Chain A
Amino acid sequence: MRTANPKSIALWSVVALVGAAGWTVLALSRDEEVSAAWMVAAALGSYAIAYRFYSKFIAYKVLKVDKRRATPAERLDNGIDYHPTDRRVLLGHHFAAIAGAGPLVGPVLAAQMGYLPGTIWIIAGVIFAGAVQDMVVLFFSTRRDGRSLGQMARDEIGPFGGAAALFAAFAIMIILLGVLALVIVNALAESPWGTFSIAMTIPIALFMGFYLRILRPGRVSEVSLIGVSLLLFALIAGRWVAESSWAEAFTLAPSTLVIWLVAYGFIASILPVWMLLAPRDYLSTFMKIGTIVLLALGVIITLPTLKMDPVTDFASRGDGPVFAGSLFPFVFITIACGALSGFHALISSGTTPKMIQKETQVRMIGYGSMLMESAVAIMALVAASIIDPGLYFAMNAPAGVVGDTVQEASKAVAGFGYTISPEDLAQAAKNVEESSLLSRTGGAPTLAIGVSEIFSKVTGGSLKAFWYHFAIMFEALFILTALDAGTRVGRFMLQDMLGNVYKPFKNISWKPGLVITSAVVTGLWGYFLWVGVHEPLGGINQLFPIFGIANQLLAAVALAVCTTLLVKSGRLKWAWITGIPLAWDATVTLTASWQKVFSSDPRVGFFKQRSIYQDAIDDGKVLPPAKSMDDMHTVVTNSTVDGILSAALALLIVIVIADAIRICVRHVRDPLSSKLSEAPFVESKTVAPAGLFATKEEKTELAAASTAPAAPGDSS
């Protein structure tokens, strides 16, 4: 038995105390303003302990990671997609791939229930579910030459479960793109500054693409530096444009923006990758990492005070304006990325396993990156909770509820139980040089207000408008990239499916097939976007729950695959590691879809909503917030589509889980009947540390293996 040394016992006791102090203050404070420092302390303390103990236990006791076993990167090294990558580089890669708009938007919306439920779910969720899922998927995919989640579902569960997983991934992609595009529309509508700077990203990216293709191939750092400088210039120029006579050309109504975005998504996805997508991706990655680092520093330097209540009345009443439904289950599906996100399973299987140097590094890459993303979600929650709650609700309630003037909005906010004067509302918009902040739903504008508040404190109380548009630009930038990349992935899946019916579709460079499938995918997410903008009942508050359900459904698929694999690989007694998160995730998702389908509260249940509006149409009446008979028909169509979609997604979860249980039971009854498609053991010839810093023994090993490629840092 190994004994711990007193120094490390003392260190971890202090870490535990810091975390516990954070939780205590958050949990006990009522009717007084709490510093965000406590939230940061609770989060970082919990992460450190979870990483040190729980992730280590999973890696070494459950998965039994083996540093002597060669990874696919070592065995199949082709110098391109399979190649052993330094762990610190791969950590950056993996983090940049999993973190996007998701962890920034969800927590902002969930703040309507107060900051406490969100904080608890983000921290507990990541420790016991999200990070575990990412790490276990990464481990199993690494043992299978980097096979994708869909392939693993097919190989290990069966063709039925595999098909359900594939269909789920496609549905999620479509809904995700619709929701992300809607976030952009809400942030850019009637904002010439924002629209101009975002529009400028297109010529900037085209220039960068040309530079990398023709002028100086592969010089990514220099072109990114040029690109980011141009981007910041476009941001500053946005203000001049907004104050000039050009302003009108860039002041677009939401419905016009929808057309632009759909056209952009379609054209971008059929252009060659080098022209727009690749350079855009460099830009957004640079901006993403830079802004996240700045935000973390900003929160830590300013340590702002949380103004939102710990738990609002909406948590129990379920009639919140941002999204309807009560705390359980809706907080747990609204905050997906940052706590538990099924989408990550697509990254953890596929790209990352082909680059990992050592099996022992799955802990740092899988678990560690997810903890980092969770920290991003906590910062988003801080940013949403430090702004005046009155302003928060005026910005996030649907237009039909808030009204068109600051006076009406002030009254509507009073109706929610919060106060903000019309003058303060007008001043808040003026501070960031926007014509109005009323009903800027979608999370991005609220986050931008919070970010501008934090950053302007660092820059001495000035530059509020600049930082607001900086934050908008940063989010819009990578959402636009996601629209392009996501349309391509959706198209790829569709080509694959259609290829079974009509052969030429399988050939992905067949131009007509490419154009048709691109148009179908853009059309599908375009439909949700159009509906989101024209829906009198709101848009984000209707669509975001479906997105959350879909994302958590994919997590259920990933966790079901992990649990099945744990059972089949003889780790039955450890199956609870992913089994309990799966049970929780399934309960949450199925309860949410059940309520979305069957609830008798028209704000929650889609079919109840449908029947109320249908009855009114039959009586020839127009129900507010609908303004015309056309609106009424829009509501009926949308609630039907949304309701059917929620039911279909729930059905898919049940199918996948039932199929996984069948395989597990069969294996327990007759272990010989199941076969495991693991790549055979090959002895590794390289040495690499497992964690961020090499331990003493690892340094000795590294020194002994002089053939190992020397990366700066490890030798010192």
Chain B
Amino acid sequence: MTAALRRAARWMRWYVRELTDESAYERYVAHVRKDHPAATVPSRRAFERMRTDRQESDPRQGFRCC
């Protein structure tokens, strides 16, 4: 019972982090390490700035409907 609850809680946490893109940084770091091992990994702060700047330059990214 508690094992099932713990698994459900872990799944919820994973889902919320993915849905809100909170996991974007880890995903990006994993991507850079894997595909561009020579490149330096940005700090989380720098990465999050880059992400909002990208949205700034093309507002159609992540646009929502009526």
* Chain A residues with a Cβ under 8 A of chain B: 77-81, 83, 85-86, 88-89, 92-93, 96-102, 148, 176, 180, 212-213, 217-221, 224, 272-274, 278, 281-282, 285, 337, 341, 343-344, 346-347, 350-351, 478, 481-482, 485, 488-489, 491-492, 508-509, 551, 711-713, 716
Contacts and interface: CB of A to CB of B under 8 A. Distances in A.
A80 B52 contact: no
A710 to B, nearest CB: 11
A97 B65 contact: yes
B27 A83 contact: yes
Contact of B65 (A92, A102, A508): A102
B25 A218 contact: yes
A98 B65 contact: yes
A712 B44 contact: no
B65 A100 contact: yes
Interface in B14-66: 14-22, 24-25, 27-28, 30-32, 35, 44-45, 47-49, 51-66
A337 B60 contact: no
B48 A180 contact: no
A344 B63 CA distance: 11
Contacts, number: 127
Contacts of B25: 218
A289 to B, nearest CB: 9
Contact of A218 (B48, B53, B56, B57): B48
Contact of B16 (A180, A221, A273): A221
Nearest to A172: B66
A492 B64 contact: no
Given A79-B28, A80-B54, A89-B18, A343 B11 contact: no
Nearest to A85: B18
Contacts of B49: 213, 217, 274
A22 B25 CA distance: 48
B24 to A, nearest CB: 7
B56 A80 contact: no
Given A79-B32, A282-B20, A337-B66, A488 B59 contact: yes
Given A80-B51, A218-B22, A492 B65 contact: no
Interface residues of B, number: 41
Contacts of B18: 85-86, 89
Contacts of B19: 89, 92-93, 96
B66 A101 contact: yes
A351 B11 contact: no
Contacts of A219: 22
A213 to B, nearest CB: 8
Contacts of A176: 66
A88 B65 CA distance: 20
Contacts of A509: 57
A218 B16 contact: no
Contacts of B17: 221
A221 B14 CA distance: 11
Given A83-B31, A272-B56, 19 more contacts: A78-B31, A79-B28, A83-B27, A89-B18, A92-B19, A98-B64, A102-B65, A212-B48, A217-B45, A273-B56, A274-B49, A278-B55, A341-B66, A343-B65, A343-B66, A485-B64, A489-B59, A508-B57, A712-B11
B59 A274 contact: no
A102 B57 CA distance: 27
Contacts of B62: 97, 281, 351
A80 B23 CA distance: 11
Given A219-B22, A272-B52, A482 B66 contact: yes
Interface of B: 7, 10-11, 14-22, 24-25, 27-28, 30-32, 35, 44-45, 47-49, 51-66
A712 B10 contact: yes
A100 B66 CA distance: 5
B1 to A, nearest CB: 16
A337 B65 contact: yes
Contacts of A337: 65-66
A80 B63 contact: no
A481 B57 contact: no
Contacts of B66: 100-102, 176, 180, 337, 341, 343, 482, 551
B64 A79 contact: no
14 contacts: A81-B54, A83-B31, A97-B62, A218-B48, A273-B55, A273-B59, A278-B52, A341-B65, A351-B63, A489-B60, A492-B60, A712-B14, A713-B11, A716-B7
Contacts of A281: 62, 64
Contacts of A344: 65
Q: Which 5 A-B pairs have the closest CB atoms?
A: A79-B31, A488-B59, A102-B66, A220-B20, A79-B28
A79 B56 CA distance: 18
Contacts of B11: 712-713
A99 B65 CA distance: 7
A489 B25 CA distance: 26
B26 to A, nearest CB: 10
Contacts of B65: 97-100, 102, 337, 341, 343-344, 346-347
Nearest to A272: B56
A224 B16 CA distance: 11
A274 B59 CA distance: 12
A256 B56 CA distance: 30
Contact of B64 (A83, A89, A221, A482): A482
B20 A224 contact: yes
B31 to A, nearest CB: 3
A544 to B, nearest CB: 12
A86 B21 CA distance: 12
A148 B21 contact: no
B55 A79 contact: no
Contacts of A713: 11
A80 B60 contact: no
A293 B19 CA distance: 16
A97 B63 contact: yes
Contacts of A273: 52-53, 55-56, 59
B59 A100 contact: no
Contacts of B60: 148, 346, 350-351, 489, 492
Nearest to A354: B61
A219 B3 CA distance: 27
A492 B45 contact: no
Contacts of A86: 18
A180 B63 CA distance: 16
Contacts of B20: 220-221, 224, 282, 285
A218 B56 CA distance: 17
A679 B21 CA distance: 28
A400 to B, nearest CB: 27
Contact of B63 (A101, A341, A485): A485
Contacts of B48: 212-213, 217-218
Nearest to B22: A220
B15 A492 contact: no
The residue in B18, B19, B30 that gathers the most chain A C-beta atoms within 10 A of its C-beta is B19
Nearest to A269: B59
B24 A218 contact: yes
